[in-house]
C-alpha cells in the first residue's frame, strides 16, 4: 500500500529534523540532554543503515539507478559514524546515573553534570568550526577501511567491469553495498569492531562464484581475490586517535 504523501516529502522532513538535532545543544549534550541524543541517534543510525536498502534494490529490483537517491543515502550513511560515539557516551552516562542511584527519568530529560563539571551551553550554530571539530573527534579512516570501501565500490560495478550477470551480479551488488556500509560506520572508533562483519562478507565472495550462476572466468578470479583481500584487511583494527571512551575502550578492538 502506497504512502498517502510522497516519499520525498517524508525524506525532507527526516533530513530537516536531523540537521536541527545535530546543531542543538553543546558538546556536552550527551549528559545535559540525553533525550536529544537518544532521538538523534534513533533518527540517524537506523535510518542511515536502512538507507542502504534503497541502494541495494535499485539495480536488483528496479533495473536502474537513481543518482540523487544514491547521494542522499550516502550522505545519511556518513552521519552514522559522526553520531555513534555521542550515543555511546550518553548510554554510559545513563548507566553511571543508574549505578549512583540518581533518578533516571529526570536525568534523561533534564540532564546532569559529571562530578560537578561545568555545562557547555553552546550550540553548533555558535561556532561551526568547533562543531565540526567535535563531530569528527573519534572518527578516523585507516587505510584498511579506505581500501575496503573501494572493494565495495568495485563489487557494485561488476556488471560493467567483469560482465557478471544474473544472481552473481545481484550478489556482488548486495555484498558491495554492505561492505561500504560496514566500512563507513567502522570509521567511528567506538564502532570499529563492526569491521569484522566484512570478514564474513569476504568469505562469501570466495564461495559465491562456485554456487551462483552468471559468473565469468574473470569475475570468478576477481571475486576470490577481492574476498581474500577484504577479509585480510578487516582483521586489522588500524591506528586510532588519542581519544578515550571510558569503559567503552575495551570494545575498541
Q: What is the pLDDT of residue 21?
A: 76
Q: Which three cell numbers stand for residue 157?
A: 560495478
Measure the CA–CA gap between 52 and 45, rounded to whole angstroms: 12
Residue 58 dihedral angles phi and psi, to the nearest 5°: -60, -60
pLDDT at 50 over 60: yes
- The band of 241, judged by pLDDT with boundaries at 50, 70 and 90, is confident
Q: Which three cell numbers stand for residue 233?
A: 584487511
Q: CB of 20 within 8 A of CB of 44?
A: no
Residue 176 dihedral angles phi and psi, to the nearest 5°: -60, -40
Measure the CA–CA gap between 29 and 8, rounded to whole angstroms: 30
Measure the CA–CA gap between 73 and 33, rounded to whole angstroms: 27
In degrees, rounded to 5, the angle at the alpha carbon of residue 143 between the alpha carbons of residues 155 and 53 is 35
Cα–Cα distances in angstroms (integers) from residue 170 to residues 2, 43, 61, 181, 206, in the given order: 26, 29, 9, 17, 15
Q: What pLDDT digit, counting tens, does each position of 128-177 carry?
A: 565 566 667 778 899 999 999 999 999 988 988 998 888 898 899 889 98
Query: CA 233 from chain center: how many Å?
Result: 18
- Name the helix (H) or strand (E) containing 94: helix 67-100
Measure the CA–CA gap between 85 and 81, rounded to whole angstroms: 7
pTM for the whole structure: 0.82
Q: What's the whole-number mean pLDDT along residues 193-220? A: 92
Q: CB of 18 within 8 A of CB of 118?
A: no
Q: What is the pLDDT of residue 226?
A: 96
- The band of 80, judged by pLDDT with boundaries at 50, 70 and 90, is confident
pLDDT at 179 over 70: yes
Amino acid at each position: 500500500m502506497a504512502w498517502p504523501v510522497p516519499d520525498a516529502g517524508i525524506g525532507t522532513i527526516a533530513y530537516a529534523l536531523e540537521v536541527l538535532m545535530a546543531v542543538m545543544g553543546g558538546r556536552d549534550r550527551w549528559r545535559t540532554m540525553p533525550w536529544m541524543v537518544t532521538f538523534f541517534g534513533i533518527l540517524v543510525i537506523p535510518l542511515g543503515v536502512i538507507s542502504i536498502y534503497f541502494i541495494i534494490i535499485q539495480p536488483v529490483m528496479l533495473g536502474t539507478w537513481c543518482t540523487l537517491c544514491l547521494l542522499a543515502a550516502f550522505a545519511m550513511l556518513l552521519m552514522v559514524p559522526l553520531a555513534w560515539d555521542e550515543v555511546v557516551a550518553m548510554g554510559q552516562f545513563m548507566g553511571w546515573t543508574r549505578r549512583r542511584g540518581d533518578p533516571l527519568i529526570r536525568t534523561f530529560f533534564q540532564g546532569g553534570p559529571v562530578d560537578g563539571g561545568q555545562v557547555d551551553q553552546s550550540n553548533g550554530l555558535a561556532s561551526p568550526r568547533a562543531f565540526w571539530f567535535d563531530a569528527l573527534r573519534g572518527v578516523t579512516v585507516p587505510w584498511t577501511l579506505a581500501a575496503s570501501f573501494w572493494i565495495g565500490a568495485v563489487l557494485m560495478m561488476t556488471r560493467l567491469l567483469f560482465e557478471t550477470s544474473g544472481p552473481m551480479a545481484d550478489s556482488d551488488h548486495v555484498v558491495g553495498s554492505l561492505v561500504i556500509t560496514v566500512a563507513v560506520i567502522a570509521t567511528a572508533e567506538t564502532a570499529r569492531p563492526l569491521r569484522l562483519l566484512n570478514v564474513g562478507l569476504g568469505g562469501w565472495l570466495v564461495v559465491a562464484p562456485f554456487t551462483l550462476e552468471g559468473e565469468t572466468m574473470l569475475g570468478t578470479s576477481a571475486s576470490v581475490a577481492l574476498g581474500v583481500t577484504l577479509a585480510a584487511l578487516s582483521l586489522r583494527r588500524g591506528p586510532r586517535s588519542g581519544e578515550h571512551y571510558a569503559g567503552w575502550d575495551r570494545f575498541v578492538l
